[in-house]
Amino acid sequence: MSRFVFPAKCLRILMCVLQVLLPAAGLLQLQDVKKTCCEFLESQLHPVNCLGIRAFADMHACTDLLNKANTYAEQHFADVVLSEEFLNLGIEQVCSLISSDKLTISSEEKVFEAVIAWVNHDKDVRQEFMARLMEHVRLPLLPREYLVQRVEEEALVKNSSACKDYLIEAMKYHLLPTEQRILMKSVRTRLRTPMNLPKLMVVVGGQAPKAIRSVECYDFKEERWHQVAELPSRRCRAGMVYMAGLVFAVGGFNGSLRVRTVDSYDPVKDQWTSVANMRDRRSTLGAAVLNGLLYAVGGFDGSTGLSSVEAYNIKSNEWFHVAPMNTRRSSVGVGVVGGLLYAVGGYDGASRQCLSTVECYNATTNEWTYIAEMSTRRSGAGVGVLNNLLYAVGGHDGPLVRKSVEVYDPTTNAWRQVADMNMCRRNAGVCAVNGLLYVVGGDDGSCNLASVEYYNPTTDKWTVVSSCMSTGRSYAGVTVIDKPL
């Protein structure tokens, strides 16, 4: 599958040769030669050479290659900026690259760090360009902590009053209430809108019928499944999130015990490592990311349902408790909409009832508040967020497994029913991608399911995906990640 790529040095020599040949080809009307050269270079695009190829294409008016190399550099920005070629670009070229709306980056941090690395590469000469560069860094889009701890501490920023003005602009943006922020019209407050990067759906562990280690990925473009590195130990009923380029498998049940342990998966290295344990043991918990923190919500510790909630800070590798929910909830589903964390249904060990109640957490006030109830009791519902709406998919009430689905709109504080799934499912995984809501596996009351179906809100229809998982599984963790290069 992997293509052969010429080492950067060979390619540079080749381009020097082409440098001589191409004008001659133009002169002699050997358009085919030129076309072949450009196609060859296109096949060689790589983060270490795409900027050089781009310059070459520009020089020889190879429009198609120029566009391809440009798009490639934008889509692989995070890797491109680590290359020699980037560090050796001229100021105009750096400005042109970082001003693009199409940069594919996990965070604006990448742009700031690239600017600092480029300047430091030849600091005496380049520091005078700081203001020109920072004009294109969208500081308001960075988290507050990063602005204070990193940007403000950077000597190159401290030394330029224009840069400090950009920092003040960013601070002001953060101080304003959300509804006033949109009035701040500046290129630096505009979100970058990269083309969709290819995505993968990762399905981690689960019950089949015992806790398993298997991890499989669905490639949406190729419409097929493949196996990746197994979990270090058996795990089902865990919480699952994707944060900072890593998949986190949080707590769960290992076949004999509810665990505190947390494993993280690096899709680029195809490797699992352990991070700090949670404070509490929990299985059938909900996990979600809110304001850069990973939250573990409710669950079951082996004897009782939990109302407790804790949060993980990836930078300090530490868990800490936050305010508990109003209700004990095992088999709870969670989702984040509009900066609030919602905990949906579940099972309340005390009253021995499946729950229709829903509550939401505001991190600023550290408070849980009940919102409108669902129309039905749902424990083990799949919960996902699509277009700022919160979906509760399937689940069960006692022995009754549901195929019904309802959706919550925070702006109206109301739930409404949408189309039923094709199958009854509880303890399924849910994730949203490319405007569709996917539900993965689960069980129908008697069997673990290997099938996947997705909901399209524009047609209000569920469609079964033609390719099934290799194993029927319920209680698996499901999340969507960027496909590694």
Ligand X SMILES: *[C@@H]1O[C@H](CO)[C@@H](O)[C@H](O)[C@H]1NC(C)=O
Using the rule CB under 6 A, is 340 a contact of ligand X?
Answer: yes
Which CB atom, from 233 or from 326, has the smaller least distance to ligand X?
233
Q: Which two tokens stand for residue 474?
A: 């319920």
Write down the least CB distance from residue 176 to ligand X, Å. 12
d(CA 463, CA 247): 27
Return the number of the residue (36 or 273) whose C-beta is nearest ligand X.
Answer: 273
155 vs 175, which CB is nearer to ligand X? 155
Report d(CA 247, CA 260) in Å as an integer: 16
302 binds ligand X (CB under 6 A): no
466 binds ligand X (CB under 6 A): no
- How far from the centroid of its chain's Cα atoms is residue 250's Cα? 17
Residue among 125, 148, 155, 350 that touches ligand X (CB under 6 A):
155
Of the candidate residues 2, 161, 365, 459, the single one contacting ligand X (CB under 6 A): 365
The smaller minimum CB distance to ligand X, of residues 155 and 187, is found at 155
Q: What is the DSSP string of 354-384?
A: E---EEEEETTTTEEEEEPPPSS--BS-EEE
Told to check if 316 binds ligand X by CB under 6 A, we report no
For residues 138 and 485, what is the distance between their CA atoms, to the nearest angstrom? 25
Q: Write down the residue that tokens 């094709």 correspond to.
A: 422
By beta carbon distance, the residue nearest ligand X is 339
Q: Sketch the per residue contact string, 221 through 240, with ligand X: x for CB under 6 A, - otherwise.
A: ------------xx------
Using CB under 6 A, which of 29, 161, 364, 411 touches ligand X?
364
Spatial strand order in the sheet of 452-456:
429-433, 436-440, 452-456, 461-464
Length in residues, the chain: 485
Among 377, 375, 261, CA closest to 329: 377
SS3 336: strand
Which secondary structure element, helix H or strand E, spans residue 344, and what is its range? strand 340-344
CB atoms within 10 A of CB 117: 13
Show the tokens assigned to 435.
């405007």
Q: Considering only 13-21, 40-48, 307-315, 359-367, which stretch makes contact with ligand X by CB under 6 A?
A: 359-367
Q: How far is the CB of 33 from ligand X (least distance, A)?
A: 48
- By beta-carbon proximity to ligand X, the closer residue of 252 and 298 is 252
Site string for ligand X, 114-133 (x = CB under 6 A): -------------xx-----
Q: Which is nearer to ligand X, 7 or 339 (CB)?
A: 339
Q: Note whether 42 and 68 are within 8 A (CB).
A: yes
Q: Which is nearer to ligand X, 302 or 398 (CB)?
A: 302
Should residue 339 be labelled a site residue for ligand X when binding is judged by CB under 6 A?
yes
Contact status: 291 vs ligand X (CB under 6 A)? no
Positions in the binding site for ligand X (CB under 6 A): 127-128, 155, 159, 233-234, 254-257, 259, 338-340, 362, 364-365
